[in-house]
Structure 1
């Protein structure tokens, strides 16, 4: 296993996240029964969200490839000062709200590469060399990734439910000064 990582920004990054290998990996990860077939995690919803998110300032993706096979990716964008997660049950502390933040949207790793450090490397590469002070993401409390984020130093600072048919999510935060 020789993993190579690639950071992309702008239009190139936007085209990547809606390409078939990325969409297929997204679908494979979300085929897990814990996602319960929720429409929020469908192919169509992903493509709609990713296409819009790719147009936002600071958009970047990091991919992991083993040879020519995509085995993981992550992406995010700059969340402007004053902006917060849709469906948040309460606003964040003022010192966080007033800062620009990196919103980490997806972290996908193929099943057979989980536990190998690929996910941690993907996220570390996305978080490094950013202008934002904080990074934030949402994670389902029942998902295995939730515990992983806690072990990696993220902390829960709130909850959100982005749509009435969406599951409840914990809002997590990390200070980028540690990267």
Structure 2
């Protein structure tokens, strides 16, 4: 059976629950090794993120099962990742940015184009000239980001976790010389 993609601009409690279930499966794997406390934090924080300007979520389904999701929101001009060791170039820092917060695919559905389909849908038609995300440098996804054109511009170290690589991707309609 094929993959169905759905675009969401808001969340329901049922959608939060299935997203948290998928998050639990994906982030139980190394190098994340997250457990119930982190899943609860994700579940509790998701509704607040959905209230941010520019929030958009794309989900992938096979039959009735959620198999992937990607979401983000607009990080306004002048804002940047907390705890980043440096700001990006002025043209990036001074622009609105799509902050990609999660991009997850169930392990059984990886390497089938689901993740690429989600990210393409998330990035297409955005008004921001650039996208940004934080990636665990030890994850398999980190190399995928680089191959897709994402460029590291900083590191972010949170008190409770692994230092993350902060990446940016200039979007096609950005109008920024690069």
Please, which of 162, 166, 178 is the counterpart of residue 167 of structure 1?
Answer: 162
Q: How far is the alpha carbon of 1:18 from its aligned partner?
A: 5.5
Please tell me whether the aligned partners of residues 16 and 43 of structure 2 are also in contact (alpha carbons under 8 angstroms): no
Structure 1 residue 165: Cα displacement = 1.5
Please state if 1:103 is matched with 2:82: no
Once the two structures are superposed, the pairs formed by residues 53-68 of structure 1 within 5 Å of their partners are: 53-68=49-64
State how far apart, in whole Å, the 2-side matches of 1:42 and 1:17 are: 19
Within the alignment, does 1:29 sit opposite 2:22 as a pair? no
Q: Which residue of 2 aligns with 1:130?
A: 126
Match of 1:70 in 2: 66
Q: CA deviation at 1:48?
A: 2.9
Aligned residue pairs, count: 174
The structure in which a higher percent of residues are helix is: 1
Structure 1 unmatched runs, 5+: none
Aligned partner of 1:176 in structure 2 is: 171
Two-structure CA RMSD over aligned residues (Å): 1.9
Alpha-carbon separation, structure 2, partners of 1:67 and 1:88: 40
Which structure 2 segments of 5+ residues have no match? none
Structure 1 residues 178, 93: CA separation in 2 closer, same or farther (over 3 Å shift)?
Answer: same
Asked if structure 2 preserves the Cα contact closer than 8 Å seen for 1:18 and 1:51, the reply is: no
- Structure 2 vs 1, CA of residues 16 and 76 (structure 1 numbering), >3 Å: closer, same or farther? farther
- SS of 2:160's partner is coil
Q: CA deviation at 1:93?
A: 1.3
Q: Deviations over 1:20-74 (max 9, x none)?
A: 21110000001113113478x7112112332221110000000001111111001
Task: Note if 1:86 corresponds to 2:82.
Answer: yes
**With structure 2 as the length reference, what TM-score do the two structures score?**
0.91
What does residue 148 of structure 1 align with?
Answer: 144
Structure 1 segments (4+ residues) deviating >6 Å: none
**Cα drift, residue 169 of structure 1:** 0.3
Does the aligned pair in 1 maintain the 2:17–2:43 contact within 8 Å? no
- CA 1:35–1:17: 2 relative to 1, 3 Å: farther
